[in-house]
Structure 1
Amino acid sequence: MRILACAFLALFLIIGGASAQFTPQSEAAPAEEAPAASVDDLIRLLENETARNELVERLRAAGGAENSAEAEAQAAEGTADPTIARQIAEYTRDIAEGVSATVGAVVDLGADVGDVFSSASTRDYGEITRVATNVAILAVALFASYFFLRAFASQGQKAISNRVAGRGWLARIMGLVGATAVDIAAVAAAWAIGYAISLYFLTGPTGRMGINQTLLLNAFLAVELTKVVVRAIFEPHGPALRPLPMNDTTAAYWYFWAARIIGLLGYSFMFFAPVLADMVSPTAAQALRVLAMLTAVVIGILIVLQNKHAVRNAMTWRANNGRHDALSKSLAFLGAYWHMIAIAYLIAILIVWLANPAEALPYMLRATVQSILAVIVGVVIISFISRFIHVGVRLPDDLKQRLPLLETRLHAFVPRVMQVVRTVTLIGVAIAIAQAWGLIDFLGWVASEGGQRVTGSVISAVIILLVGFLIYLAMSSWVEYRLNPNFGTVPTAREKTLLSLFRNAFTVALAIFIVMLALAQIGINIAPLLAGAGVLGLAIGFGAQKFVQDIITGIFIQLENIMNEGDVVTVGATSGVVERLTIRSVSIRSLDGTLHLIPFSSVDMVSNSMKGFSYHVAEIGVAYDSDIAEVKAAMQDAFDGLMQTDAKTAILEPLDIQGVTLFGDSAINVRARIKTLPGSQWGIGRKYNELIKDAFERRGIEIPFPQVTYHVGVDGQADALLTSKTRKRRKQKPEKIVDQPSIDRPEAADAPDAASRS
């Protein structure tokens, strides 16, 4: 009850004070003289129900009036619903007022210093001298001890660097950790020595440390530990421990300037400015801070201008070497204008700090650190991805033998995925930087209901795409393994054809299904797409009748199993080996190497030379005077010789001699057939023809060829010059004799005995 009474009393006094501001002066004076109600009076007031209700009503009325007055004030100022332009104007006004106040404080520094000297007579110079002497002694002892400790620490760090030189990255990381620990130990030891000296030898009359000594020790600890971090990053004296790829000169350069800026700002803000604020005035302290910040910004601008071209060349290196990805283009764009961005950033830090010294600098430093961390994380991820793309995927030898195309497929797919991941990483870095500087509230949007819905949909769509790719990879690998003749059962031509068709059809169906699911996850209604696909398919069916005919004919060709990949076929007027067979067309490689693509709608007949078994048909022409039995015996001898070679494994049955099949103009054809495995008939036929020629030569069987015999007659006695063999042939078949006119001879006795020529 007493706590509730105290709360009501405090609220009553606040409202009373607020209402007193709006009462006339004559009424406000007696209220100031009236004594405040005691707690007991308030308790008695609350115990009375009527009085308590009246007080509650008065409080409600006062609260409503106060809210109404506040709303009217906001409406009068136009801040109830501020526009973006008004917010920018107010922010600009605050910056201008802050800068004006800071500059005014610096201008008033002379008056403050004059006041210090005018009041010097009232100051205790002995106390000031004692404080300054103690601080000077502490500074000398602190920095001298740190100088010697750093010398020993540097020797230890060099020893660690020499020890890990040339070793792996794990040893280098452990060495860097050890060297950093040694550096931290040197700083901590120097700080402890200074703290002990100040505590046991430089205490004041009260036996306590002076505040200025504590400020110096704290500034030393903060500044030197920050320098330790910078030394760990650049390692100017330990190249083997350096995590960044730079030479000794570059590392020493950046460490030198970073250490100077850290020391300038750290000691100015953490030691000298508080001392000036205590001994001179806050204006003097602020003037020192402004001078330190201005000096640091000028140094930063000079460093930017000195490294303008070097940084630009480093950032445009990827683009100059022919790389045109998103990272290379982004770095090239930033490299052209990075110095302007850096100088604008430094000037913005100075202006914003001048506007709000208490809050602006910590905010910008925090945003800067977050941006640098985001860039570092992005660079690490992109470097890992680039190295992964460069190295590629290496599969075990056993897996490569089983799935020879898997590594090639991964090499074709992984770089594209990594490029997408690299682009997403760049976008993530940009979002992180914008979040750090308050340009967007991405985390707040993600935490909202709409953000969770969108991010969940995107993640679900990405997972669906990854699962679809894994299914495709598994299916393709299974088909590839099934078609590999070195493992499992050797696939037949029919299995090769069907598995290839299955892979193509499954890939198309899976792609459509996965894309539809992904679109459905990101909020796109796929029902109109399905309906549009049906209408489009119907329109294609009417407009592309040839295409439909190709597919229908291809389906029946596959059902009838008339040809498969690897078969030697004749399709129309084209003969060759089937290289690729789809549901719409067939690709045939002819004997001269030409690849023919034949749509099934133009196929009237398919002749397959490799279905089940094959025959080599030997049509041998012999002379009319040959003994047929002798010819058959020679053909059988040639077949027996063929069975003594490796070709016998492809011969299915004995030689089938069918006898005389044709009486030609100059020869009698004798036919024989050799039944072989599909596709072996050509090789066996060539070998059999060689053996036939040898067998005929051994038996003296003539293989005739079309010829014309010319007889040159002299004085009508051409017949007497004919040989007996020729006469015998003329009895069997008339010859075509062409008589040439007689040639004048000098003497009949000098004429040759025979003048015939065939």
Structure 2
Amino acid sequence: MLPELPPTLERTYRAFTAHSLIALNTRRRHAMAATSLERGSTRTQSAFSSSLSLWSRSFFALCCLCLLLAGMVPGFASLAHAADTAPASASSATGSLSKDDAQQLLNVLNDPKKREDFTHTLSLMAKGLPAAPAAAKAAAAAPTVVDSDVNSELDNLTSSMQGYVQNFAGLFKDLGFVGSWFRSQISNPETRKTLLDAFSRAAIILLAALALERGTSLMLKKPLTAVTSHAEARERKQEASAAVETVQAATSTPDGDNTQTRADDQRRRNEVMRYLVRVPYNFLHFLLKLLPVVVVLAIGYLGAEFLTTTSQARTVTITLTNAYVVARGLYLLLETGLAPRSPAIRLIPAQDNTARMLTRWWNVLVAAPSLVICLSTLGSEFNLAPRGTEAMLRAVVLVQHLIIAAFIWRVRHIVANSLQPSPELRKNAFWAFVGAMARFWWIPVLFLDIALWFVWAAHLKGGYQWILRGTLLTLVCLVLARLIAVLAYGLQDRLFRISDAVEAEYPGLQKRADYYYPFVRRMLTVFIVFVAAISIAQSWNIPSFHFFFENPLGSRLVSAAVILTLGLVIASVAWEVINGLLNKQIDRYTTSSQSARATRLRTILPIIRTVLLVFIVVIVTVTTLSQIGINVTPLLTGAGILGVGLSFGSQSLWKDVITGFFMLAEDAIQVGDWVTTSGVAGTVEQLSIRTLRVRSFDGDLHIIPFSSVTSIANTGKGFNQIIVRQTLDLTEDSQKVAYIMSTVIKEMRSEEAFRHIIFSDYNDLGVDSSDGNGAVLIGTIRTAPMMKWKVQREFYRRLANRMAKAGVKFYTPTSYYTTPPGNAMHLAMDAMPEWVPPQPQGTGSTAAHSAPAASLADAQPTQAVSPSDEKPQGKPSPQGPAHA
């Protein structure tokens, strides 16, 4: 047995079903009547709007009808027949749905529990009712090829297109109607008299007002000239100060990459400031030029009030006055912004010729709003039908669009040249293509201009307003974006320009600011472009604001971008603050004679920076990913597993890291030390957490892993010691030599250049050995770290001169080569007779040469040569030629 509905719901159900059938019948009648549309745009729009409204209500009723089809009572056929044949039954059926029943049905539908029970009851009723055989036969007889909803949509689209075409064609018919109306007005003596009286009085009043306007303009010529003169004087001062600021901006930073950027930003800021300074003068200029227009307005209204006798004359006078005031005001608005005769107060950047041309064209274009005001007001005043008024308005707007098209054609070359990229950008293929396409900008703009009029003339609902509103808002967004960009760039330049006091306290801060300057500039540019883009999209009714601020996906994207930006800013600030504190600490150690600590901190500074960078990158990455909704737990788990795998697979790497850490912690080595390790001697250039970089004496750079370092000989720790070895002749006095060396060191310590790097006098350790190779004298000299080579070279240079002057004898190795006794060659040479040189003939000196030398020694000089005078072959005597 089928469940029964409550009585109230049953009545509501039956009334709703009848209402749905009546709505369907009404829609069918309107669809048949749509083929004969009435003339006139007002009636057409009303019929079209009512058709759309009825279609929407009928479609909703049809959906509900399909939902409730299974629960209809057997009296459906008779009820439908009554709905089709007797319109009077509509009122009775609708009347059965009382206010209380409708409210109760609404409560049932709004309550999920009651709605579920109601749906369950209807489904049970549908299962128990028999199928309708007539509907089945009809379906079998006429199978459906196209869905009824699709067919209905196509019919509506066809009807809409026919309506648009008829509206557009009705324009020309309505213009003929305007001509008929005008002939009828002129042919009627009474209406002709009214027209002549109204327009003649209005013309007289307007002529008087225009004469007074001209007189007022002549009286205000001197104040206008004074305003322009003050503006020009202020302009010259502004240009002088701007030139100085531009030079300072170009020379304030040593970074060549940012010099041009800062100069460009300064130039743009000066340009904006120049225009902002012009605003008061321009506004005063506009008010002075607006005074004659106010005179016209006052004369027109006073004349309409006191000099007219009919309501038509008063209306004509006020309408023409308003039209002139509106046109003149619009003209002055642009004329003041361009200021073709006063460049010092010009707010729109343009050349003088361009300003004059735009002003002339604008003077023609402002006539259209005046005509629109006149036609819309005077048409109803003189009993012109609305369709005639609208036809004239469309004709006026057509002329306006044709004038705009001519203006676009006139300025196409000027705009194309201004849209061309810079010569540097044109070297790129993409920007070269953009520049080539920019020359044809006038084609889409011209098409848009003509299409706007067709859209409005065909009465496309909201089309003209949508395009016009979108275009104007796009221009406003672009202008505001440009202004905000210039102001933002100027503010950035001020923030990134470090004062001298701060630079003195934190040296290098200006250089760091210059490093971040281009990155912040790009971020500002991206932000401004993004805001401008979504604003332009919103102006064209694209729901960009809804997507980025209300949609979950867009909100998440915006949130991710904001969090990423904040993370980068915080990370950069933390990085620079910590680096600044470390550098300041190094400077403090250096100035407070704690050079060891300064060197140590400078050594481990790269490692601290590396660890800090890794820490900041990890924190920012994890935080950003978690904020945008990405689960970072699997990533952290994977990173942990990867770290364990790397620790087992790269034991040598970890050994390098651990060894390097302990060496740095124990201060075993610093940057700048001279070390000997792993068979390499040189200066330490860089220390990382894993490697040691040593520059040898021959210039080679040796990169040594810490795991290969077993021992380090560091010359830069504590002090150095020079070991002095002198090999003397056995006959030389060692005490004399030690005294000479001690004297040389004392002289060096008395000098300013060596006072702080020689820690001790010559420490004589005595004779280390004495044998056939001479006597070895040993001593030491203690010096500052890394200074022993400098002291040693200077010490030996001075010592050589002192020892040569004192005649110190050094041991000289001697080698003898001979043959053993009894050798055949030795015996043969002993048996040879002694050679006697021949004696010269003559007198005088014969006696002097008569006696041969007794031996070879007799032929040598009689002066004795000491062993100390013996010098190695090839080396000059330290005594010079005088000693010989």
Assess same fold via TM > 0.5.
yes
Taking a change above 3 Å as real, the CA distance of residues 720 and 435 of structure 1, as seen in their structure-2 partners, is farther
Query: 1:38 aligns to what?
Result: none
**1:46-195 to 2 correspondences below 5 Å:** 56-57=100-101, 76-77=148-149, 97-98=163-164, 100-118=166-184, 120-122=186-188, 124-153=191-220, 155-165=222-232, 166-168=236-238, 169=274, 171-195=277-301
Say if 1:481 and 1:487, in contact at 8 Å, map to a contact too.
Answer: no
Residue type of the partner of 1:101?
A: N
CA distance 1:95–1:565, shift in 2 (3 Å): farther
Q: Is contact 1:665–1:706 with CA below 8 Å preserved after alignment?
A: no
Amino acid of the structure 1 residue aligned with 2:200:
T
**Alignment CA distance shift 1:674-1:398 (3 Å):** farther
Mapped partners of 2:226, 2:771: distance in 1? 103
Task: Provide closer, same or farther for how the CA distance between residues 62 and 662 of structure 1 changes in structure 2, counting only shifts above 3 A.
Answer: closer
- Over residues 157-208 of structure 1, what are the superposed CA-to-partner deviations in whole Å (9 max), with x where a residue is unaligned? 442222122133364332223223323334333322322232222x2346x9
Query: 1:418 Cα shift?
Result: 1.3
Are residues 1:586 and 2:692 paired? yes
Unaligned runs of 5+ in 1: 1-10, 35-50, 65-74, 737-757
Amino acid of the structure 1 residue aligned with 2:485: I
Partner Cα distance (1:55, 1:394) in 2: 74
- Residue equivalent to 2:403: 299
**Does residue 211 of structure 1 match 2:315?**
yes
User: Does residue 777 of structure 2 align to residue 670 of structure 1?
Assistant: yes
Residue number among 742, 745, 750 corresponding to 1:639 in the alignment: 745
Tell me the residue number matched to 2:9.
Answer: none
Q: Deviations over 1:428-471 (max 9, x none)?
A: 21211111011334246514566545534432332232222211
Name the CA distance, whole Å, in 2 between partners of 1:197 and 1:705.
135
Q: Give, as a single letter, the amino acid of the residue that structure 1 aligns with 2:358.
A: W
CA distance in 2, matches of 1:445, 1:92: 37
Cα pair distance change 1:689/1:267, threshold 3 Å: same
Q: Choose from 631, 639, 645 the match for 1:533.
A: 639
CA shift in 2, pair 1:356/1:655, >3 Å: farther
Q: Is the 8 A contact 1:268 1:288 kept in 2?
A: no
Q: 3-state SS of the aligned residue for 1:270?
A: helix
Q: Which whole-Å CA distance do the structure 1 matches of 2:397 and 2:374 have between them?
A: 15
Residue matched to 1:233: 337
Structure 1 residue 76, shift from structure 2 partner: 4.8
Q: CA deviation at 1:410?
A: 1.8
Instruction: State how 1:307-318 maps to structure 2 within 5 Å.
Output: 307-318=411-422
- The match for 2:368 is 265
Q: Given the superposition, is the C-alpha separation of residues 231 and 570 from structure 1 closer, same or farther in structure 2, using an over 3 Å criterion?
A: farther
Give the aligned partner of residue 743 of structure 1: none
The CA distance in 1 between the partners of 2:458 and 2:637, in whole Å, is 62
Give the alignment partner of residue 502 of structure 1, picking from 598, 603, 608: 608
SS in 2 for 1:648: coil
Cα distance in 1 for residues equivalent to 2:771 and 2:289: 108
Give the C-alpha shift of residue 587 in structure 1. 2.8
Instruction: Select which of 509, 515, 538 maps to 2:621.
Output: 515
Kindly indicate whether residue 728 of structure 2 is the aligned counterpart of residue 658 of structure 1: no
In structure 1, C-alpha distance between the alignment counterparts of 2:416 and 2:169, rounded to whole Å: 36
Structure 1 match to 2:705: 599
**Offset at residue 378 of structure 1 (A):** 1.7
Letter in 2 for 1:342: V
- SS of alignment partner, residue 167 of structure 1: helix
2:585 to 470, 482, 506: 482
CA distance 1:271–1:615, change in 2 (3 Å): farther
Q: How does 1:355-366 map to 2 (within 5 A)?
A: 355-356=458-459, 359-366=462-469
Change (3 A) 1:311 1:205: closer
Structure 2: gaps spanning 5 or more residues: 1-14, 27-79, 109-146, 239-273, 819-828, 836-853, 874-883
Tell me whether 1:398 sits opposite 2:501 in the alignment. yes
Cα distance in structure 2, aligned partners of 1:398 and 1:541: 49
Contact 2:762-2:779 within 8 A present in 1 as well? yes
User: Corresponding residue for 1:691?
Assistant: 798
Stretch of structure 1 that moved more, 591-600 or 187-196: 591-600
Distance 2:534 2:793 in 1: 74
Distance 1:283 1:54 in 2: 42
Q: C-alpha displacement at 1:494, in angstroms?
A: 1.4
- Among 798, 808, 827, the alignment partner of 1:701 is 808
The answer for the alignment partner of 1:428 in structure 2 is 531
**Alpha-carbon distance between aligned partners in 2 of 1:55 and 1:727, rounded to the nearest angstrom:** 148
Q: Does 1:574 align with 2:680?
A: yes
* 1:228-261: CA deviation from partner (whole Å, max 9, x where unpaired): 3323432222211123433211222223223422
Alpha carbons 1:653, 1:675 under 8 Å: kept: yes
Secondary structure class of the residue paired with 2:237: coil
Alignment pair present for 1:446 and 2:512: no
305 and 29 in structure 1: CA distance in 2 versus 1, 3 angstrom threshold: closer
Equivalent in the alignment of 1:196: 302
Preserved CA contact (<8 Å) 1:461 1:522: no
For 1:220, which of 301, 324, 338 is the aligned residue?
324
In 2, Cα distance between equivalents of 1:431 and 1:150: 46
1:300-339 to 2 correspondence within 5 Å?
A: 300-318=404-422, 320-321=424-425, 335=438, 338-339=441-442
Matching residue within 552, 570, 587 for 1:467: 570
Q: Distance in 2 between matches of 1:395 and 1:62?
A: 69
Query: TM (normalized to structure 1)?
Result: 0.77
Q: Is the CA contact (8 Å cut-off) linking 1:385 and 1:422 kept in structure 2?
A: no
Q: Could you say what secondary structure the match of 2:756 adopts? A: helix
Task: State the number of aligned residues.
Answer: 686
Higher Cα Rg, which structure:
2
Q: Deviations over 1:622-646 (max 9, x none)?
A: 5555321111010011011011111
SS in 1 for 2:681: strand
DSSP 3-state at the match of 1:529: helix
The alpha-carbon deviation at position 150 of structure 1 amounts to 4.2
Question: Which of the residues 471, 481, 500 maps onto 1:378?
Answer: 481
CA distance in 1, matches of 2:97, 2:469: 52
User: Residues 704 and 725 of structure 1: is their aligned pair in 2 closer, same or farther, counting only changes over 3 Å?
Assistant: farther
Deviations 1:273-330 (A, max 9, x none): 543565454444334333333333333333334433443333333463579899x899
Q: Structure 2: which amino acid aligns with 1:196?
A: L
Report deviation, 1:591: 4.1
- Confirm whether residue 410 of structure 1 aligns to residue 513 of structure 2: yes
The Cα offsets for residues 605-624 of structure 1, whole Å up to 9 and x where unpaired, read as: 32211112222333345555
